[in-house]
Structure 1
Amino acid sequence: MNKLLSFVICAVLFAGSCAAAPAASSIPPASSIAPTPTVLESTSSGTTSGTSTAATPSFTVPLASDDPNQIEWNVTTTEDVQPIRGSLGATIIGPQNIPIDQQNPDILAPPTTDAGSIPNIKWPFSLSHNRLQTGGWARQENVDVLPIATSMAGVDMRLEAGAIRELHWHSTAEWAYVIKGTTQITSVDQNGRNFVANVGPGDLWYFPPGIPHSLQATNDTADGSEFLLIFPDGNFNEDDTFLLTDWMAHLPKEVIARNFQDSISDWDDIPGQQLYIFPGTPPANADPVPDPQGQVPEPFAFNFSQVQPVQYSGGTAKIADSTTFKVSTQVAVAEITVEPGAMRELHWHPTQDEWGFYLEGAGRMTVFASSGNAQTYNFEPGDISFVPATFGHYVENIGNTTLRFLEIFNTDQFQDVSLAQWLALTPPALVKAHLQISDDTIAHFNKTKQVVVGPAQ
């Protein structure tokens, strides 16, 4: 009996010593751990039993958490919003700006996967100073309000029907996306070739640096037009525009008269200061002035609204860059739609920053900046996002309606790298050594970009 008892005790102690984690000096590197068949048990996360070829987990680091880290509330919530996630955090007992906290749940109560620090990448146009004029307004975003956005700046501009954004030019290129209404654009290039076009909702225009132009809302709709302007320089300031009336107001009339070879009295009524935006009569047509030099060789406008988007499992995408809109050599755009429950796939842009603008719906983005730094942000219509080149990110639809946004780049051609495609085209053994996943899982990776992925089936 004593021998039997001693045997049992020894067996238990031996089993316990085998189950204990090995000493650090005895742990082989993850790449040397041979894949072994593993039986998967049924779990609450939905894993089913069966034989898999997943590699043995490495003991060098802990396994990733299964916590879904979903948002704690949304903008429609009526509950008390507090910086609490599970057992972490505590209530605010001092002053609280509740509307801002409701719009930014992942800043007030960040996911546990967030870590480190990333400069702010979000700016709502609602916080931009608005320049009010008779006939319209303009508000801008640049490095003054979003310091990380050094490569691009944006302006949201509104013109009442007939109102004119006066003849002007910039030291940078000007790219535009029409949000509502129709805008008539005019221009003359350095060789005296002119251009006129009416640009409607979802369409684009582009003027190279230094090329003079004007913008005027038509009366196609009673409201006139509103459009987004992008300038490929984060230091751009709309107030630094070269305006026709501003220049003329700072010239002696005698010089003006000699330039145009007429009398000073012909210039008696020119404005004494800039007009910027002012009321006007809606244009009757889009006919250019007869021009002995002819029209510009490449149109300054592009019917982006007529481009057929590519359909993916979770939404759509369409692109305009210099391969299709030839004159647009400094700005490219992708217009993305994401259906509820779907996401713009995990990706990054290899060489160019992404300036984003949200048009419809509610989005959520986590930005990965390397070295353990990641932060999650929430976006609504009118919000701007900025993701530096090479930063990994995604955008998921967290609302009940279609999410629609623009990805804009200071480049001649759109480029992105898909995480799923990268792993699908990498030798499977190498992927398994990193992620400890099975051959079956790797076999389901898509070798073509999915861009917008739907919910798992």
Structure 2
Amino acid sequence: MEAPRRNVANIPHIPQPIREDGAGWFDKGPRDIMRDCENPDMLVPPVTDAGLIPNLRFSYSDTHMQLNHGGWSREITVRELPIATTLAGVNMSLTPGGVRELHWHQQAEWSYMILGRARITAVDQDGRNFIADVGPGDLWYFPPGIPHSIQGLEEGCEFLLVFDDGHFSDLNTLSISDWFAHTPRDVLSGNFGVPISAFDTIPCEQVYIYQDSVPGSLESQKITSPFGTVPLSFTYPLLTQPPLQFPGGSVWIVDSSLFGISKTVAAALVEVVPGGMREMHWHPNNDEWQYYLTGQGRMTVFAGNGAARTFDYRAGDVGYVPFAFGHYIQNTGTQSLWFLELFKSDRFQDVSLNQWMALTPPELVAHNLHVGPDTIQALRKEKWSVVKYPGFSYYPK
């Protein structure tokens, strides 16, 4: 009996690994056609791609979903994306009243609120407390060891958590319920000065996320500490900050110079309009961890010694660029591409290829690259983080 097979070679809407110059051949064997359609630049790499660069993309859609009464979470760490050693990310959602229980981490926690609203609480090492409500575009940051909680408000919420260690796992953090469950009750009794029976109904394991009622007003939950409130806010309203505007989009940059408490994570929120491109650049301070919020794009990463590789990204994907590797990101869709750039650093830094060339003696650049005076005159001394050029279009191969 002949083995089953499909003849997909001549179906026009099925992409094939054939470049316009004729390189490649039909893929007539078993295929995940939907995946090929999502990754046109892996199926048919640009002719300029070469060499060996590890995978720099992973989608939250391919991760394990941790479901709880009160919400869900999923994470991307070095387990899923081995190259991403500096940062790890957790995508989490809480129902109205859903609670990420009282807990703390060995790592710093940086967060971007994607949608909805949440209430966060924290107490620092000096007994100074903090409580605040956060909404779309707001950030929070908790230094390592600072105990905190997160609770969904009336409409629930979804947010991105980023931790300054790629080996981090949110399912392996330090939770109050977990500690209670693994402490003898006589010790709890002695610690808190109440009868042992007071702990008869404590959870027998880590709660992680649980369902509660929606809290009352912010004022109704405020507790006055005799030691005052934290000197630096744990939250930052990113979208109230005026963006840097360029022909190809906008950029909001936030690091410890604006968000003082955020000592180990710096970030930029980037919008690239259709036909726009995050310019050719690199970062001189650390690796880049990316989270794609809306739209679709492609990124080419240059590693030196003739190595370059192109990846396609959509909302919910994580991208990564190793330290100092050159790269650019094109909007390949019909709507604005929004993504976050994150770094394990107290400052955001990038080097513009265009600006570097413009501020270098012109004859040196011209002789190095064999380009004419028109190219030299077009160079910009000012950095344009996002560029747009007439007539640009993108057609997946």
TM-score (norm 1): 0.82
Task: Please list, as runs of the form range in 1=range in 2, the aligned pairs for 1:376-391 lying within 5 A after superposition.
Answer: 376-391=310-325
Aligned to 2:363: 429
- Return the offset for 1:78: 7.3
C-alpha distance 267-80 of structure 1, shift in aligned 2 (>3 A): same
Does structure 1 residue 271 correspond to structure 2 residue 203? Answer: yes
The answer for the alignment partner of 2:352 in structure 1 is: 418
Q: Residues 59-104 of structure 1: CA distance to partner in whole angstroms, max 9, x if unpaired?
A: xxxxxxxxxxxxxxxxxx9711111112010111110001111110
Structure 1 residues 436 and 403: alpha-carbon distance in aligned structure 2, compared to 1, 3 A threshold? same
User: Is structure 2 residue 146 aligned with structure 1 residue 214?
Assistant: no
5+ unaligned residues in a row in structure 2: which ranges?
A: 1-10, 392-397
Q: How does 1:382-401 map to 2 (within 5 A)?
A: 382-401=316-335
State the one-letter code of the partner of 1:396: Q
The one of 42, 45, 48 equivalent to 1:110 is 45
Task: Please give the residue correspondences for 1:23-422 in structure 2 after superposition, counting only pairs within 5 Å.
Answer: 79-86=13-20, 87-219=22-154, 221=155, 224-287=156-219, 288-422=222-356
Deviation at 1:269, TM superposition (A): 1.6
Q: Tell me the amino acid that sits aligned with residue 243 of structure 1.
A: S
- The whole-number CA distance in structure 1 between the counterparts of 2:370 and 2:27 is 41
Structure exhibiting the larger radius of gyration computed from Cα positions: 1
CA distance in 2, matches of 1:242, 1:285: 28
Give the Cα–Cα distance (whole angstroms) in 1 for the partners of residues 138 and 362 of structure 2: 43
Identity of aligned residues (%): 50
Query: Which contiguous aligned blocks of 4+ residues in structure 1 show a shift greater than 4 angstroms?
Result: none
* Helix, strand or coil at the partner of 1:85: coil
Aligned-partner Cα distance in 2 for 1:441–1:273: 65
1:240 and 1:272 map into 2 onto residues whose CA distance is: 16
Question: What letter matches 2:57 in structure 1?
Answer: K
Alignment-mate amino acid for residue 120 of structure 1: N
Q: Secondary structure at the match of 1:283?
A: coil
Deviations 1:143-171 (A, max 9, x none): 11100000010000010010000000000
| Structure 1 residues 200-233: Cα deviation after superposition (integer angstroms, max 9, x where no partner) | 00110000000000000011x2xx0000000010
User: 2:372 — aligned with what?
Assistant: 438
- Match of 1:296, SS? coil
Aligned-CA RMSD value: 1.1
Question: Equivalents in 2 of 1:305, 1:128: separation in Å?
Answer: 29
Cα distance between partner residues in 2 of 1:449 and 1:78: 43
The amino acid across from 2:308 in the alignment is A
CA distance in 1, matches of 2:333, 2:202: 52
Distance in 2, Cα, partners of 1:148 & 1:267: 44
Q: 1:333: Cα distance to partner?
A: 0.8
Q: From the superposition, tell whether residues 82 and 308 of structure 1 become closer, same or farther in structure 2 (CA, over 3 Å).
A: same
Equivalent pairs counted in the alignment come to 378
Deviations 1:100-148 (A, max 9, x none): 1111000011010000010000000000111111111110000111000
Post-superposition shift, 1:409? 0.7
Letter in 1 for 2:79: D
Distance 2:171 2:280 in 1: 38
Separation in structure 2 between the aligned mates of residue 226 and residue 95 of structure 1, nearest angstrom: 37
Task: Give the CA deviation at 1:263.
Answer: 1.0
Instruction: Supply the AA of the counterpart residue of 2:209.
Output: I
Q: Distance in 1 between matches of 2:245 and 2:333?
A: 20
Give the counterpart of 1:449 among 383, 386, 393: 383
Query: Per-residue deviation at 1:440?
Result: 2.8
Give the structure-2-normalised TM-score: 0.94
Mark the runs of 5 or more structure 1 residues left unpaired by the alignment. 1-76
Larger relative strand fraction: 2
Deviations 1:293-330 (A, max 9, x none): 11000010111121111110110001110000000000
- How far did residue 267 of structure 1 move? 1.8
User: What is the CA–CA distance in structure 1 between the aligned matches of 2:301 and 2:351, rounded to whole Å?
Assistant: 15
Give the structure 2 partner of residue 42 of structure 1.
none
Letter in 2 for 1:407: E
Q: Tell me what 2:7 maps to.
A: none
SS of 1:79's equivalent in the other structure is coil
Counterpart Cα distance in 1 of 2:49 and 2:67? 40
